[in-house]
Amino acid sequence: MHVIGTAGHVDHGKTLLIEALTGINADRLPEERRRGLTIDLGFAHFFTPGGEPVGVIDVPGHERFIRNMVAGAWSLDLALLTVAADDGWMQQSSDHTRVLRLMGVPRLIAVITKTDLASPERIAQVSEQASEACSRLGYADVPTLAVSARSGQGIDELKELILKEIASLEQTAVLEQRAAAQRGPTGSVSQMQSVAHIYVDRVFTVKGAGVVVTGSLMGGVLRRGQELLLLPQKRRVRIRSLQCYYKECETVEPTSRVAINLSGIDAGQISRGDLLSEQGTLFQNTMEFILRIASAPGTQADDKSASPKRDTEVEIAVGTGHQIVHLTRLAAGNLGRIRSSRALPLLWNQPVVLIQHGGSSILGGGRVLWLGKTGKQQRLLLSEIEPTLPAELGGEHLARLKLSLDGAVAPEEARDLKLAADPSQGTVELVGWIVAKEYRDRLEGRIRELAATPGGVRLDELATKMRGEPETLLRLAASKLAERGDLSLRGGILLPAGSEALQVSPMGRQLLRDLRTGSSRGLELSKLKIAGARKELRNLVRAGLAVALEGDIYYEKEIYLGLARSCLAGQAVGGTLTIAEAKTRTQLSRKYIIPLLNRMEKDGLVKRSGDERIITALPQ
């Protein structure tokens, strides 16, 4: 299936052309029909000789509605650029062609309309003018065809040309898939974009059904009953029913116009520009990203008004939505840092268009080079790498960026990118992650340093102490070091694989001696007048040499176990223990016995039942 659309200057016959092709007047708003002016997106379709539907999106031509035009361009396989024979090439002809190019629309047909109002010489002149302008704006060898929507002249030929271009697109897609398979581990952008997704362009309520949204389905198949993720809301919704070109469907394939009846949401909770995607989406909510800026095609290098300033507010058009963002151009290269006040659902390498804030000028566009916040060093790295990247990016380039900036690629991303470790390229495998060798060495070295501090380091503290590193990778890497015998992992605490003395400071060793001397009295922190005693006692606990009780009471580990054994001596699992019995057996006062029993409960030895404790395990 395919979706095509119109583009072109206001009053150049876009809506009438669609009606001649499809029999459908795409102007759906009363104001549009009254004024004879397309304001918002319109939708129609026709069928191929084989019965396959081709969706058609009509866009407004007036410059005041350029944002609506961009909203209709994001999903097009082919655009019909209308140029009226009487007017010739106009400003919006250029602007719309620039938008199509920036949004990555692959094919274009220049349709010379209103031929009933011009001489053959004028028609030929405008055809040549359109062909030259399209070439200058990034579409070389564009086919041109003269038609009259009023008389029907050339409409059948236009349909044939549309089907020919669509067939050519399908053949190109097959060849690209074969090439991607031959490239092997590098992956491709098309593979990354294979997740079903829709940018919403209309939302309304149907009595008895509820919320219905429409949009162009891209990337994958949708099924009735399927659960979808709504972004940026991060909300799960379910497909109650599906329609494709007014026909109820169990499944819908891309690229096609669809209407989705959703459950689990109200109409006020979803709007144009929101994204619906299947689970496991590669789209990310982000309020900051790096854009690889492309000037609007055909813009002169010295035309300062036609490109974004160094530090300014602009409107960014993504999918069917647009919003105001802050753009800061980086000092070197063609990169811009985009910061938004609300989250945008984006995909790596996704095309966007930049529009003048408060105006209608197309300032340029580009593709998403990096999703998420970046530090100064990361931005410097991106500025160095960007000039070495080709114009068309594939999955291997995302892998290169991730390895350069983050140092690591997660297992699921490595699978998506078909990325494997290659020591000759300086990459190695680390518990399923693909990482740069230097990054692995730095990561493991830092974990060893933390483990060597007094008391070692808890596994669950690594992410805090090594802020910015993936928590999952840190835990896996630390566990791997313990498996290799490079570190010792005891009770969730990482310690060096050396003598105990290496893990305890001189003050800690003194406190440990005091704990042993104190025997059943232990140590009370409130009675210690030693600066830093709390930290050192905590290190002894983490090292497994001491035990902390409520009230800041500490025992040496073996003394604590001895007291627990005394409490439970001669008892069996399932038996009971009273406070009085525990006091008698240990000779401890209530001040100590209650914290001791509570600690035993925490360790799973007893379970409280009223004033008694039920024995659940015996200490080893």
The rounded mean pLDDT for the chain is 86
pLDDT at residue number 299: 61
Q: Are residues 12 and 117 in the same domain?
A: yes
Q: 603: domain CATH number?
A: 1.10.10.10
Segment among 54-58, 304-308, 315-319, 381-385 with least mean pLDDT: 304-308
List of residues 6+ apart from 459 with CB closer than 8 A: 475, 478, 479, 489, 492, 493, 494
With a cut of 50, say whether residue 303 has pLDDT above it. no
pLDDT tier, 541 (very low <50, low <70, confident <90, very high otherwise) = confident
Q: Are residues 610 and 533 in the same domain?
A: yes
> How far, in Å, CA of 436 to CA of 599, rounded?
45
Does 394 reside within a domain? Answer: no
pLDDT tier, 29 (very low <50, low <70, confident <90, very high otherwise) = very low
What digits encode the pLDDT tens for the residues 115-134?
999 999 999 999 999 999 99
Q: 378: domain CATH number?
A: 2.40.30.10
Q: Are residues 12 and 122 in the same domain?
A: yes
The first and second tokens of residue 109, run together, are: 């047909």
Does 477 reside within a domain? Answer: yes
Q: Domain range for residue 262? A: 194-278
With a cut of 70, say whether residue 500 has pLDDT above it. no
Residue scoring higher pLDDT (314 or 619): 314
What digits encode the pLDDT tens for the residues 424-445?
888 999 989 999 999 999 999 9
Does 185 reside within a domain? Answer: no
Q: 122: domain CATH number?
A: 3.40.50.300
> How far, in Å, CA of 177 to CA of 187, rounded?
10
Of 421-430, 508-517, 537-546, give the range with the top mean pLDDT.
421-430
Burial of 428 (0-12, 13-18, 19+ CB in 10 A): middle
pLDDT at residue number 396: 82
pLDDT at residue number 175: 46
Instruction: Tell me the average pLDDT across 141-158.
Output: 94
Q: Calculate the CA 10 to chain-centre distance.
A: 36
With a cut of 90, say whether residue 295 has pLDDT above it. no
With a cut of 70, say whether residue 269 has pLDDT above it. yes
Percent of the chain with pLDDT over 90: 50
Q: Taking a C-beta distance cutoff of 8 angstroms, is the pair 45, 245 a contact?
A: yes
Does 419 reside within a domain? Answer: no
The tally of domains found in the chain comes to 5
Name the residue among 11, 47, 18, 42 with its Cα closest to residue 28.
42
Does 66 reside within a domain? Answer: yes
Does 426 reside within a domain? Answer: no
Q: Taking a C-beta distance cutoff of 8 angstroms, is the pair 369, 401 a contact?
A: yes
> How far, in Å, CA of 202 to CA of 41, rounded?
9
Q: Taking a C-beta distance cutoff of 8 angstroms, is the pair 595, 549 a contact?
A: yes
Instruction: Tell me the average pLDDT across 200-224.
Output: 91
With a cut of 90, say whether residue 250 has pLDDT above it. yes
Q: Are residues 315 and 451 in the same domain?
A: no
Write down the residue that tokens 């928590």 correspond to: 471
Does 406 reside within a domain? Answer: no
Does 395 reside within a domain? Answer: no
